[in-house]
Amino acid sequence: MTVTTTAKVPPAISGRTAIVAGNGQLPLAVAESLRKQGADPLMIAIKGEAEPSIYQGKHAEISIVELGGLVKILKAEGIANVVLAGGVRHRPEFRHALRPGNGNLVALYRFLRAFRLGDDGLLRAVIATIESYGFRVVGAHEIVPDILTPEPSTLTRKQPDQDSIANMQAARRAAAAIGALDIGQGAVAVGGRVVALEGVEGTDAMLQRVAELRLAKRIHSTGGVLVKCAKPQQEVRADLPAIGISTIENAAKAGLKGIAIESGRTLILGYEETIKAANEAGLFVETFVQETRTDAS
């Protein structure tokens, strides 16, 4: 059964909003939603990460560790709210934060301590530091609620078969385990066993690895399922797991039968286009409620 979503009304957000833009289409979706609400968002591109289209309109640019510059921009533009949207391919190099005049030294110690904890720990430190200057950090899904996955259901024409359900269960356990360790948000299971775990390379690269393994006949079973879910300790205002058209394309190239994503804690970027692509590729997209886990066991 294909589910038709009902448009959700974004909550009213007081004050001007800045979007700190990494890669991908999420920053643009947030900006479009704000403009439809009559707001004038400020786009702040992360150097080396933001999409080229971000630079076509009025924008500012910062490096990923340039906290002092970010705060100056936010204050100068009268910003009240900050949205951290989009991916970051490159890990921060904190030696650049030591340049004179960056105004980063107060936050640097906090970041260095958090850096060893993984992405979620680092994001929490970034959010806490931004909010310590009096700004409010808002999740992208709070502005564009329609991108959140709906309640547990099958979103496509194709339904998961029994083999796929077994693969979903295996991949869900694996994704929960690596999430608890702050390693990644996704896993692939084929033939009832886990064959790939998401790390710093991201979902698309993991799926490309699965395709290569299948081509090399290291994976002999057909089918398989990608599972994406939030980490148990996930900071939901940044880096929620997401799928989009590229996820569908890479899942199809990897020979998978479908994708399962956590309900209410995963984003679907370009919902209609993504589900259409899944239907055309003959893949299912299923949503589920993940069990609460507090450790990797």
Residue 110: CATH number of its domain: 3.40.50.20
78 and 124 inside one domain: yes
| CA pair distance 102, 294, nearest whole angstrom | 38
295 domain-assigned: no
Measured over the CA atoms of residue 195, residue 182, residue 63 and residue 92, the dihedral's sign is negative
Encode 259-297 in three state secondary structure. EEEECCCCEECCHHHHHHHHHHHCCEEEEECCCCCCCCC
8-state DSSP, 57: S
9 domain-assigned: no
7 domain-assigned: no
**pLDDT higher than 50, residue 157:** yes
- Considering only residues 96 and 37, tell me which one the structure prediction assigns the higher pLDDT: 37
Q: CB neighbours of 25 closer than 8 A, spacing ≥ 6?
A: 51, 244, 269, 270
Q: Which of 84, 115, 143 is the last residue of a domain?
A: 143
**Alpha helix (H) residue ranges in 137-244:** 140-143, 162-180, 203-215
98 and 163 inside one domain: no
132 and 226 inside one domain: no
Q: φ and ψ at 198, to 5 degrees?
A: -80, 130
297 domain-assigned: no
Mind listing the pLDDT tens digit for each residue in 84-127?
Answer: 998 877 655 555 554 545 555 455 555 555 455 566 777 887 88
Question: What distance separates the 2 farthest-apart alpha carbons in the chain?
Answer: 60
46 domain-assigned: yes
- Looking at residue 3, its pLDDT comes to 46
202 domain-assigned: yes
Q: Output the domain CATH number for residue 270.
A: 3.40.140.80
Q: Which of 143, 169, 200 is the last residue of a domain?
A: 143
155 and 277 inside one domain: yes
91 and 155 inside one domain: no
- Looking at residue 179, its pLDDT comes to 92
Which range has the worst mean pLDDT, 14-23, 55-64, 70-79, 110-119? 110-119
**pLDDT higher than 90, residue 160:** yes
Q: Which of 143, 174, 195 is the last residue of a domain?
A: 143
Give the structural domain span for 275.
148-288
| CA pair distance 20, 17, nearest whole angstrom | 10
59 domain-assigned: yes
How many independent structural domains does the chain possess? 2
Among the ranges 27-41, 163-177, 197-211, 212-226, which has the highest mean pLDDT value? 163-177
- Looking at residue 10, its pLDDT comes to 54
| CA pair distance 264, 51, nearest whole angstrom | 26
228 and 139 inside one domain: no
Report how far Cα 192 is from the mean position of its chain's Cα atoms. 26
79 and 97 inside one domain: yes
Tell me the pLDDT band of 295, cut-offs 50, 70 and 90. Answer: very low
